[in-house]
Amino acid sequence: MKHDLLAALVRAISGVHARLRLPQVGDGPCVYFANHTSHLDFAVIWASIPADRRARCLPVAAKEYWEAGMCRRFIAKRVFRAVLIDRQNVSAHDNNPLVQMDHVLAEGHSLIIFPEGTRSLDGTIGRFKSGLYHMAKRNPALPFVPVCLENLNRILPKGELLPVPLLSTITIGSPLQLEPDENKTDFLTRAKSAIEELRQHEL
Amino acid sequence: MNFDPQLQYLFLGTLGLLLLATLITLAIKVRLADPNHQSFVDNLVARVRAWWIMCVVFAAAVLSGGMATIILFGLISFLALREFVTIVPTKPADHRALFWLFFVAVPVQYVLIGFNWYGMFVLFIPVYCFLMLPIRMVVAGDCERFLERSAKLQWGLMACVYCISHVPALLKLNIPNYAGQNAKLLFFFVVVVELCDVSQYIWGKALGRHKVLPTVSPNKTWEGFLGGWLTAALIGLGLWWATPFDPWQAFFIALGVGFFGFCGDVTMSAIKRDSNMKDFGQTIPGHGGILDRIDSLCFAAPFFFHMCRYFLCGATPAPF
């Protein structure tokens, strides 16, 4: 109930029009990956997916950013139960965020991630970091659902505190999986173009 | 609550029209059951259903009094401006200016109506906002396409906020021998404009052959325009008893309102065409966005307001 209200509020603020070509991902966990331009991004994805999936969907966010300050900590931990990962002091064996994410997936949760790792200022999609590929490699059966968000950079751009109430669009595409002989560059390129193909309006 | 019997007749008449529209839609649905007409029938059903909701909201606001009506139109302005600014190619530097637009310009314009401050109501947007908006954008410092960005935002303010605010401002007109009855004048205006739209649609669907402005709005025909225009004027004539006009005045003012309504409709179509979109949004099923529904109201409202003020309130230089 509380979450339904919050989702309705997020949809009202972002004026989001959902173009859900809702993929057949079954009941199991999946990873939603999207272009990143605004703090509203993960909330909009979370608010736009069906309620039963929403209850099992957690955003992945940067620990050092979302643990700074009471307000951010409250939003990240209490409201959206975000999976906070370290961006510094990370190695394959020590403190590996992939292990942390595998853990959450194994519990049956879906994840929202932003492979660019940072918010773009102008709405263009930046280079994808390799984490997406490593996740796919560790979980070959996991569906990766591309999500294209538009206009949210105008509603709440990086560096602004107050949103301006424009209309946004979310388009959810059909899921990808890592092909057996696909290398890192190919997979990341394919993932990025999957989002670009969903774009409705020119930049 | 307002127990003016004439207002009750207007409400009952609206209810009757809605019931009639629903019955006709049902008949059409049965007659045109084949898949070729599916999308037309679906759109018609969605349109009529949306009309029910819009009429209920509007009637509830009018019944709840002047304050509720002002708030309703304030909200409509806000949502219409939202659709308009979404298609304006603003830049990140405009963010703060947009914040002022939505959260200061819109509320202040409607508060001015609430306080009955006519002098400021007519000046606030075309003078103060039109100067302050580019000033705020200059402070932000981005000159690229500056004239285009600021002018388009000024257009949005003018159409969505300034023009629409003249509808609830009708409630504040100080008309001799009509005190406390202005809600009927507002109702008359909205009914004439909207029925002009609807009857243009019906005449166009039934008889439309010759296109009026093919490069702007390919669905608009002379038959639809003239038929709808005349129908609106006759409806105005038929409702003269609810207004401070005599029958001929009601006829001619409805004629003017219908003409400006059509102009608003096609002008907004030109803006949509320029931006390569069919509708401003998806808020109202079957109709498009809020702005698609109120485009004719936009242009007709200032005309109707000033005609009323000039001819009906001429003798009383009181506020409004």
Write the CB contacts of B122 (distance below 8 Å, at least 6 apart in sequence): none
Residues of A107-133 as b/e, b for ≥16 C-beta within 10 angstroms?
Answer: eebbbbbbbbeebbeebebbebeebbb
Whether residue B4 has pLDDT greater than 80: yes
* Strand A57-62 to A168-172 pairing: unpaired
Residue A177 gets the label, from left (phi > 0), alpha (psi -120 to 50) or beta, of: beta
Question: B73: which 2 tokens?
Answer: 């139109």
Q: How many residues does the structure list for chain B?
A: 320
Query: Taking Cα atoms as reference points, which of A97, A39, A111, A109 lies closest to residue A72?
Result: A39
A151 touches chain B (CB under 8 A): yes
Substitution target from A14, A166, A201 for chain B, most B beta carbons within 10 A: A166
B positions 94-133 inside 8 Å of A (CB): 95, 98-99, 102
CA distance B252 to B233: 7
Average per-residue pLDDT for chain B = 92
Query: Taking Cα atoms as reference points, which of B7, B21, B82, B5 lies closest to residue B54?
Result: B21
Residue of B78, B86, B92 lying closest to A157 (CB–CB):
B92
Q: What digits encode the pLDDT tens for the residues B22-77?
A: 999 999 988 888 888 888 889 999 999 999 999 999 999 999 989 999 999 999 99
Is B215 within 8 Å of B202 (Cβ atoms)? no
A positions 12-41 inside 8 Å of B (CB): 15, 17
CA distance A140 to A116: 21
Task: Label residue B320 by pLDDT band (50, 70, 90).
Answer: low
What's residue B72's pLDDT? 97
Q: Over pLDDT 90: what percentage of chain B? A: 80
Average per-residue pLDDT for chain A = 89
Phi then psi for residue A111, to 5 deg, are -125, 150
- From residue B39, how far is each of A38, B26, B33, B179 by CA, in Å? 37, 15, 11, 47
B86: closest CA of chain A, how far (Å): 5
Q: What digits encode the pLDDT tens for the residues B94-130?
A: 999 999 999 999 999 999 999 999 999 999 999 999 9
CA distance B276 to B279: 9
Phi then psi for residue A190, to 5 deg, are -65, -40
Question: From B98, which residue of chain A is nearest by alpha-carbon distance?
Answer: A164
pTM of the model: 0.92
